[in-house]
Amino acid sequence: MSPLERALVVSALLFGIGLAGALTRRNAILVLAGIELMLTAVNLNVIAFWRHGGQTASAAGPAFVLFVIAVAAAETAVGLALIIAWFRQRRTVQLDEADTLKG
Amino acid sequence: MNDLVNQLWLVPALPLLAAGVLALTPRHRRGLAAGLAIGTLALSLVLSVAAWVSTLGATGPDGFRAVRNFPWLTWGDHTLHLGWVLDPLSAVMLVMVSFVGLVIFVYSTGYMAGDENFTRFFGFLSLFAGAMLAVVMANSLVLLFAAWELVGLASYLLIGFWFQKPAAAAAARKAFLTTRVGDLGLFAAMLWLYDATGTLVFFDGGRGCLEAPAVAALAGQTVMGGLTLSAALSLLVLLGAAGKSGQVPLHVWLPDAMEGPTPVSALIHAATMVAAGVFLVARLFPLFAAQPEGASGVPPALQAVAWLGAVTAVFAALIAVAQTDLKRILAYSTVSQLGYMFLGLGVGGVAVGMFHLLTHAFFKALLFLGAGAVIHGCHGEQDIRRLGGLGRLMPVTFATYAVGMMALAGVPLLFSGFWSKEAILHAAHTWPASPGPFYLGLFGALLTAFYMTRQVVFVFFGPYRGEKGAPTQPGKVPHESPPLLTVPLILLAAGAILLGFFGTPAWPGLQAYLEPARVGLTGPDLARLVSAEALKLMALSTAVVLAGLALGWWCYGRRPLTDPTAPDALELAQPGLFRLLRERLRVDELYEATVVRWHTGWAALGDRLDRWVWGGLVLLIQGLTVGLAWLGRALDEFGVNDGFDTACERLRRGGTRLAATATGRLPGYLRGAMAGAAALGLLLLWGGCR
């Protein structure tokens, strides 16, 4: 098994764990954590393809990853802020009680 | 003076205003109605007399004449003027119409006291009088025609005043339609005159259509068969005048007009309606008398007027001989006397005809109001065979009626009718065209004396024959009328006597006033009265009148009639002729058989056309339209409506189903997003990788 394949397997596992968490958890914070996991898996994929793709001279891979991390951090901050606001209003963070987002 | 002319419009305007106000007055305001009508007419009378007095002293070829014209309608290059004129003819007519009208108004307050439509009656009377006053003072044929038609309308309303009676409604219709035939002639004449002269104003300082330049131009043109344009116009005008004045053959409406209340009959027969026709001819007399340059003899239009009058005078007098209805006899005598007026206009000019018109207005109003008093006193009885002996029961009525009767018959010296008829006969005697009218006039005078004697004998002499010879029942006895009815009679009787002295040969004041160019006014001169020629004619007509009176007395007075159903004295002598006369020479039947039948035929044809031809077409189109409409409806209901409904229902259901998927739960959405992502991934893996 080549280092790339190992990295991809880890990444796929990470993505699967994150996806499972995001889909099955009812706590909004845990869903957010699951989404973070999936993003991490993506990052891992990107850096692995950069490291083993033979184009290490350019800094595109790390640059993308850094961007994604920054955006993910911002996204998490917004998400957490939404959750706090929501909690203040409804006294809950259970996602299955959040059913007002419909037409 | 000039001010007076400018304010002359008030004379007709006041009664017309009263008519307008009374049209809006509630029915129970009787005092207001009578007061307003009489008050306005009295004001008109005062104004008329003032205007008349102002014309008296004037001299000149035409006498006094003042006009006031103003533009009324302008279109393109044409301007129609209206206006009024104050001259001897209009002044004397104004005074006569307003005075006789006023007397009749006063009389009506008594005669119509029991009628529930008293207010309406006075409104119509005011309209009638105002319209007639407007006819008289009009200085424009347009204004004259408009007022003329108003007179026709008012007569229609008044003759049909008791429209609940079918006979009254029919008489009103007949009067309206018959005069309309004549009006057509007048209307055509008006249009033609405007076409020929470009103006319809009578007198306009030399530019009017009745003044010398225009008349000479009209007389200079020939239309057809040697007839000058002025003569053709005159004949058309004569048609209108004949319709209004009840000349043969358009006289049929006048006797039927008796269906109206008696004051209306008096008004129609004396002062207004029928006088309008004579007045029209008198007003347009320059047109009638126009001759082309160098022509001599009597103008054809005047010949037509004279012959028409003479024939009518005898024709109607003959019919009057055999009538039995009190008012109908008077009606035919009116037709006959109108014939005399036309005869006078034709042979002697304006003054002669107008003299008879004025005297006739007084004594005919007197006779009609007297007849009204008789009818009033005898509880509605109008058949002279069922009256009788009223001379003792109603002395005032009898005395005044006798004055009117003698004036109408032309009893010599004292009565106005004698002098005016004398003037006509005198003019007819010297007429160069033909001696025929003179003899017809004499014969008519004989008949007049005869039938008036017959009527008076039947009504006032002998025993009372009403109530089957039992007049003892209280409340049913004929009684004298109240002063409200008799005072007007006395006033008119005085007029019927006095008026004659303004036109005797000794002092022809009226003639000189009306026609100063032809008759110079000098002081009274008895020598003219006893000149050989005048004396001879007067003796002749006196003999004729006395013969008529004697004949009447001999036929009816010797043995007073006792049985109302007994045959007439003339009927015994000449049954066939008498029946013909009683049936009014069958003129109505003739019209029934010709005009009415022709009209009915056309109407029936039109009806059949309508019913079958046009009606069938209409039915067909209707069927087609209905069929189309059904088709359209079916399409709408089953095609468009149902299709649309179904589509809507399905859309709604689909929307509901889709809406059910939007639960609002985030995990569900996430799952959907992931499933989508997975599907995309699979697509990439299997198919779209390269």
Q: What token pair was written down for B497?
A: 């006597």
DSSP state of B477: S
> Which amino acid appears at position B570 of this protein?
L
A29 touches chain B (CB under 8 A): no
Q: Give B624 to chain A, closest Cα distance, Å.
A: 54
A68 touches chain B (CB under 8 A): no
Q: Which residues are B82's β-sheet partners?
A: B70
Please name the residue of chain A whose CA is at the shortest distance from the CA of residue B661: A102
Say which CATH architecture domain A3-95 belongs to. Answer: Orthogonal Bundle (1.10)
Asked whether A34 and A19 are in contact (CB, 8 A), the reply is: yes
Max intra-chain CA distance, chain A: 52
ipTM computed for the complex: 0.72
Q: At what angle do helices B273-283 and B350-377 cross, to 10 degrees?
A: 180
Please judge whether B667 and A96 are an interchain contact, meaning their C-beta atoms are less than 8 angstroms apart: yes
In the block, tokens 């009818």 appear at B375
B664 touches chain A (CB under 8 A): yes
Cβ neighbours around B39 below 10 Å, total:
13
What's the CA gap between B445 and A25, in Å, rounded? 137
Residue B469 has what pLDDT?
46
What's the CA gap between B62 and B107, in Å, rounded? 37
Residues of chain B with C-beta less than 8 angstroms from the C-beta of A29: none
DSSP state of B613: I
Question: Which residue from B437, B147, B121 is spatially nearest to B263, judged by alpha carbons?
Answer: B121
Residue B479 has what pLDDT?
75
Please name the residue of chain A whose CA is at the shortest distance from the CA of residue B662: A102
Question: Across the interface, which of B663, B670, B671 has its CB nearest the CB of A102?
Answer: B663
Residue B378 has what pLDDT?
81
A31 touches chain B (CB under 8 A): yes
Q: Give A101 to chain B, closest Cα distance, Å.
A: 4
Q: How far is CA B433 from CA B298, B427, B536, B623, in A?
A: 6, 12, 21, 71
Q: What token pair was written down for B648?
A: 């809507």
Q: Give B643 to chain A, closest Cα distance, Å.
A: 29
Cβ neighbours around B42 below 10 Å, total:
16
Q: Give A98 to chain B, closest Cα distance, Å.
A: 6
What's the CA gap between B78 and B170, in Å, rounded? 41
Question: Which residue from B441, B443, B450 is spatially nearest to B421, judged by alpha carbons?
Answer: B441
Q: At what angle do helices B300-321 and B436-460 cross, to 10 degrees?
A: 30
Q: What is the DSSP string of B226-291?
A: TEEHHHHHHHHHHHHHHHHTT-TTSTTHHHHGGGS-HHHHHIIIIISHHHHHHHHHHHTHHHHH--
Please judge whether B666 and A22 are an interchain contact, meaning their C-beta atoms are less than 8 angstroms apart: no
Please name the residue of chain B whose CA is at the shortest distance from the CA of residue A24: B667
pLDDT tens, residue by residue, A2-55: 888 999 999 999 999 998 988 888 888 998 999 999 999 999 999 999 988 878
Question: Across the interface, which of A19, A95, A103 has its CB nearest the CB of B666?
Answer: A95
What's the CA gap between B130 and B660, in Å, rounded? 90
Please judge whether A22 and B662 are an interchain contact, meaning their C-beta atoms are less than 8 angstroms apart: no
A22 touches chain B (CB under 8 A): yes
In the block, tokens 């009893």 appear at B411
Asked whether B384 and B328 are in contact (CB, 8 A), the reply is: no
Q: What is the DSSP string of B201-221?
A: BS-STT-STTSHHHHHHHHH-
In terms of pTM, does the model score above 0.95?
no
CB < 8 Å from A in window 600-659 of B: 659
3-state secondary structure B658-686: HHHHCCCCHHHHHHHHHHHHHHHHHHHHH
In chain A the first and final C-alpha atoms are separated, in Å, by 50
Q: How far is CA B170 from CA B110, B165, B259, B274, B334, in A?
A: 27, 9, 9, 19, 21
Counting one residue from A and one from B, how many pairs have CB atoms under 8 Å apart? 32
Residues of chain B with C-beta less than 8 angstroms from the C-beta of A19: 674
- How far does CA B233 lie from the centroid of its chain? 21
Give the DSSP H/E element, type plus range, for residue B84: strand B78-86
Question: Which residue from A101, A95, A79 is spatially nearest to A21, judged by alpha carbons?
Answer: A95
Question: Across the interface, which of B662, B670, B674 has its CB nearest the CB of A103?
Answer: B662
Q: Domain-by-domain residue ranges, chain A?
A: 3-95
Q: Give A22 to chain B, closest Cα distance, Å.
A: 8
Rg (CA), chain B: 37
Q: Name B474's Cβ contacts closer than 8 Å, sequence gap at least 6.
A: none
Q: What angle do CA B40, B41, B47 make, to 5 degrees?
A: 95
Residues of chain B with C-beta less than 8 angstroms from the C-beta of A100: 664
Please name the residue of chain A whose CA is at the shortest distance from the CA of residue B663: A102
Question: pLDDT averaged over consecutive 10-residue blocks of chain B (690 residues)?
Answer: 77 92 88 91 92 76 77 86 89 91 90 87 93 92 92 91 90 90 91 89 85 85 83 91 87 86 85 86 89 80 91 91 87 91 90 89 89 83 80 86 89 83 88 88 91 88 66 60 84 86 73 68 60 80 89 81 74 79 80 86 91 90 95 90 91 90 79 89 78
Q: Which residues of B362-393 are buried (b: 16+ CB within 10 A; e: fewer)?
A: bbbbbbbbbbbbbbbbbeebbebbbbbbbbeb
Please judge whether B670 and A31 are an interchain contact, meaning their C-beta atoms are less than 8 angstroms apart: yes
